[in-house]
Amino acid sequence: MKYLLLFVFLLIVLGACRTTERNFLQTETKREKDERMMWWRDAGFGMFIHWGLYAIPAGEYKGKTTYAEWIQEQADITVEEYEKYAAQFNPVDFNAEEWVKMAKEAGMNYIVITSKHHDGFSLWNSKVSDYDIVDSTPFKRDVLNELADACAKEGIVLCFYHSIMDWHHPDAQGINFPDYNYGDGPNPNFSNYSENYMKPQLKELLTNYGDIGVLWFDGEWINEWTEPQGKELYNFVRNLQPHIIINNRVGKGRQGMAGMNAYDDAAGDFGTPEQEILDQSTKLDWESCMTMNDHWGFNKHDKNFKSTEALIKNLIDIAAKGGNYLLNIGPTAQGSFPEESIYRLKEIGEWMNINSEIIHNSRGTKNYIENESIYYIKSKDGKNIYAVLTEWPGKNISIKYAQPVPGSKIHLLGFNEPLQWKNNGKEGIIVELPKEWQNESNRSVKHAWVIKMSGKEALVSDKPEFTIESKVVEEKFLFSNETEVTINSHTSGVKIYYEIINSKNDETFKTYDEPILVKKPITIRAYTVKDGFIDSPVNELVLLKTNKFESIKYKNHYSQKYSGLGDLTLGDGKFGGDDYMNKEWLGFEGVDFEADIDFGESQKISNVSVNFLSSQENWIFFPAKIEVRISDDGKVYKKVVSTEHVKIDKHEKKHAKLFQLNFNEKSAKYVKIIGENISICPEWHTSAGGKAWIFIDEVIVQ
């Protein structure tokens, strides 16, 4: 009986221990999250480090020189062959203190290093596996331990990148050669890898190296991984280190390279745009991770480094929109940073020595940019507002979106004397710039200049929106017979003024009070006015007319971000070039392109040509298959021609291609065109598993 009571007691104790594990996703309050996120939001700028066995081939394999951290997968290297790199990995030049000091001197407040990338090789002394830097290499030093000590010494927050995907472990993706990401389907033993390998390794990282600032997951796109698993892993990590921050790649919430969440309850604390910056300011937490050149890991052939000026402008743009900048370094196999990276870090540091207050302890602004070259950033406490000039304006500058305290002093960071300024009413303020600095050689600051003001963001009326058929349209729109344009504003109590410009005359601005019926090509310009507010920027919509198609209907709607000229883009007669960012393309993410075209009346048809774009580095692929169907009533369609399924060529160069489909002459009033999306990026792609895009810009029916 005594032993039975003891057993029952132990069960109760163990059950109580299990119940102490907290579900942070469901129970953390906004205040708790804000306190946890505070250091990261204040940090603003961090260093990403991609380092591992892939530094040994340095981007080159069997004559090809375009590889980096994905070389094992992209070059079809077996696990056994790739393991041999470990015996060559002896980074004798590695000096943790030098790495950390370079980050600190560049104005970076945290470091995120690849503890384990997709290749499965660990940069610490793992007791779970021998496939690590201590047990498998001649170096035999725990670099994460040395970095932890160096970061603690310099006051830098250490963070770990960790890949959920693992090309080495046989219970993960290690059995999938040569298609490491997917193989023949999900590995039935993946739970063994997840529970008995990945989690124990994460526990090592979170118990042996002190407080870790961020756990930066990646590789979540594999078939084996699910959103519930991501949420469970999120709580597993938070229960080991409750104050840690975790990115949104822990689950399935990330939307492609844009990086923000696809749904509200996705796991993770911040969005992760990759190689791009958000289009607008947001109060959501986000961090843009970007390379200095074209690769994350070291590639000795890649000399396409961004200029210091471009890197600083990225830093400013991101800060003004409320995000963090995570700038990557790919160290060599010897353990040193590339000289090009060191040079740029030094120049960024010189700029940050004077201007760091707009990056550290700062926040983004609602109206973050004026005239393409004035960015606005505010201090964390809201007492200061900064106008950041990315172009030198001359003798003076007009600033609209800042409201300095009356009679206060305005300073140019790096210049000792206060600047002269005056209020110019609804036109903002005019600031006189130093005579001494009109000569570029006299300026103590290069690349961008910061005007500091005691004050706050000015009240600016929201830029009006143009709406057609209940959809917001931007820049250009194509219509056939006629269309109706509505102008709206998110600011209540405003007056909207607009003007119409056409080939014959320009109207002056007049009050908007009803929708505008458009029957011919015009340009509409509009702005909003409200008492006590700065007038909004002018918004402009170009309306173009086509007579080619009566209408086009899409089964899956195109992305708002890549919306071309609207629904009728495909019939405007203008072909997009090789740049997916120009306004001729319609983009479809992760879904097929399927359009029904109404000609208005029956026509004889014998050819359909469709223009698609391939830009694989931007996740854009030619369709796997194209099919054409015709109909007399728009309800019952008959297939007349299709292409064979095409295997995507990993070496396809960026270009647009007109696919021509010929068939015996038919009569039809309607044509349905289907472009089959490959759905996800192929396993050899650097973003394998992410949603693939189809871009289309023109349809020709003959």
| Sheet bearing 475-479, strands edge to edge | 475-479, 539-545, 522-529, 495-501, 510-511
pLDDT of res. 390: 97
For residue 651, is pLDDT > 80? no
> Residue holding tokens 């990026």?
681
**pLDDT tens-digit readout, 1-10:** 434 444 444 4
Other C-beta atoms within 10 Å of 129: how many? 17
- For range 490-516, the mean pLDDT: 87
Indicate whether 185 pLDDT > 50.
yes
Work out the pLDDT band at 11, boundaries 50, 70, 90.
very low
Higher pLDDT, 648 or 606: 606
Residue 14: what pLDDT?
A: 44
Q: Greater confidence, 417 or 651?
A: 417
* Percent of the chain residues past pLDDT 70, beyond the cut: 95
Please state which of the ranges 296-310, 394-408, 681-695 shows the lowest mean pLDDT: 681-695
Contact (Cβ atoms closer than 8 angstroms) between residue 281 and residue 321: yes
- Which ranges constitute the DSSP H helices of 241-360? 308-320, 339-355
Q: Are the beta carbons of 244 and 237 closer than 8 angstroms? A: yes
Structure tokens at 675: 């472009």
Ordered alpha helix ranges (H), 66-198: 71-74, 79-83, 96-105, 143-154, 190-193
Strand partners, 429: 399, 423
Comparing 298-302, 656-660, 661-665, which segment has the lowest mean pLDDT? Answer: 656-660
What's 66's DSSP letter? Answer: -
Q: Which residues of 470-493 are buried (b: 16+ CB within 10 A; e: fewer)?
A: eeebeebbbbbeebebbbebebee
Tell which residue, 582, 659, 581, 650, has the closest CA to residue 621.
Answer: 650
Q: What is the pLDDT of residue 259?
A: 84
pLDDT attached to residue 506? 65
Two structure tokens written together for 38: 């505070």
Distance CA(452)–CA(311), nearest Å, equals: 22
CA distance 596 to 552: 6
pLDDT at 653 over 60: yes
**pLDDT tens, position by position, 608-640:** 888 899 888 778 999 999 999 999 999 999 999
Determine the length of the chain: 702
Question: What pLDDT, on the 0 to 100 scale, is given for residue 8?
Answer: 41
- The residue-averaged pLDDT of 660-678 equals 92
- Strand, helix or coil for residue 616: helix
Neighbouring C-beta atoms of residue 188, cutoff 10 Å: 9
Rounded to whole angstroms, how far apart are CA atoms 385 and 411? 11
The reply to whether omega before 170 is within 30° of 0 (cis) is no
Say if residues 256 and 46 touch (Cβ distance below 8 Å). Answer: no
- Sequence-distant (6+) residues with CB within 8 A of 206 are 212, 215, 237, 240, 241, 244
2-6, 219-223, 393-397: least confidently modelled range: 2-6
Burial 357-368 (b: 16+ CB within 10 A, else e): bbbbebbbbbbb
Structure tokens at 475: 């820049």
Domains of the chain and any CATH numbers: 51-272 (3.20.20.80), 363-457 (2.60.40.1180), 465-545 (2.60.40), 551-701 (2.60.120.1190)
CA 621 to each of CA 432, 444, 570, 687: distance values in angstroms, whole numbers, following the listed order: 51, 47, 18, 13
Residue range 455-490, pLDDT digits in tens = 999 999 999 999 998 888 888 787 777 899 999 998
Is 236 a residue whose pLDDT tops 80?
Answer: yes
